[in-house]
Amino acid sequence: MKHLPSLLVCLLGLVASMLGARPVFAESALHALCPSAEADACAVYDTGRLTGTRSLKKLAADADVVAALALPEAIDVLVLGEAHDNPHHHKARVAIVNARAKAIVMEQLRADQSAGLTAFNDFNLKAARSATLQDFKSKVDWAKGGWDKYPYDPLLSAVIAAQVPVYAGDPPRDVIRKTAKEGVAALPQAERARLALDQSLGEKLDAVSGEEIEASHCGMLPEAAIPRMAFAQRYRDAHIADVTLTAKAAAGSGSVVLLTGNNHARTDRGVPWYIRARAPDTTVISVAFVEVEPGQNDPEAYVPRDPDGKPVADYLVLTPTIARDDPCAGFAK
């Protein structure tokens, strides 16, 4: 499966937090697509999914990633993917948040943190002094969310400085656990229908989703648990889409920016799929942030694809990779 290491990083984020694992941030060697040791964004690749034309723009270390992307002005939802542990992905998205966000939805915040987030939003928009990173982390209880081991601080600082409404994208932790344990039966039928979870992804996508869940748990899941875990992933996508649609309705004009993992950013079965299922006229653009791999200099090789080979991201931002511990090491202990 293409890009399995990065996929494991994204899907293992929640699991790794339970294991207490911390990522290693040593840099990899320079790459033909990423020759600058100072760059956070090395190149922008138009996959042709939106424009019909594929193109690559290599970037200097100080290049403007917003200008390089040249996104359409009229975007309802701009989905910015990531590998959670890659600091380049968080730093490279700062300029995009600054330029485009009228509201921000974060996968990294759960619905059960909404009270603290509301308190932060009120403070950030009304306080006599500027809000700080510590204000944000304190009010939303960031340390208990499982994300504090990742290098989010530059991105969080941009979110704070934007002074726009911020929304918790992920479902409550107890509901995520319930769906992972019980599968479809965890949600009432009416709620499944409201979230478009009653609509099938199709056999091919269901099969691929199951394979990814199995891989993300390093082959250690009982076979019977895989469909339930796959449904939990679908539920998270659908819930994030629901919050994003709410944010868009409140924001009116301008773009809602969704900050999420690359797997949630997929247009074939991630958050964009659920947005379009419920609001077909919504303009959604997905930008995946993808690490370059040793010896692979063809940008087409980095494009995430559906089972039929079609791109499932509109643009890629190619970035340096980071050295990591084996993501399955914790499962083997």
Domain count, the chain: 1
Domain harbouring 103, CATH code: 3.40.50.11550
Q: Please give the structure tokens belonging to residue 130.
A: 């500027």
Cα–Cα distance, 44 to 5 (Å, whole number): 21
Neighbouring-strand partners of residue 145: none
The pLDDT assigned to 5 comes to 46
User: Who contacts 322 (Cβ-Cβ below 8 Å, separation ≥6)?
Assistant: 23, 24, 25, 26, 27, 28, 85, 86, 87, 88, 291
What separation, in Å, do the N-terminal and C-terminal C-alpha atoms of the chain show? Answer: 25
Rounded to the nearest angstrom, the gap between the alpha carbon of residue 231 and the centroid of all alpha carbons in its chain is 18
280 contacts 273 by C-beta, under 8 angstroms = no
What does each C-alpha distance from 115 to 120, 141, 236 come to in angstroms? 9, 10, 20
- What is the per-residue DSSP string for 216-234? HTTT-S-GGGHHHHHHHHH
The pLDDT assigned to 329 comes to 80
Residue located via tokens 């948040």:
97
Q: Which residues constitute the domain of residue 260?
A: 4-332
Per-residue pLDDT of the chain (333 residues; tens, 9 = 90+): 445 445 545 554 544 443 444 444 445 557 899 988 789 999 999 999 999 999 999 999 899 999 999 999 999 999 999 999 999 999 999 999 999 999 999 999 999 999 999 999 999 988 889 999 999 999 999 999 999 999 999 999 999 999 999 999 999 999 999 999 999 999 999 999 999 999 999 999 999 999 999 998 898 889 999 999 999 999 999 999 999 999 999 999 999 999 999 999 999 999 999 999 999 999 999 999 999 999 999 999 999 999 999 999 999 999 999 988 887 886 665
The pLDDT assigned to 17 comes to 45
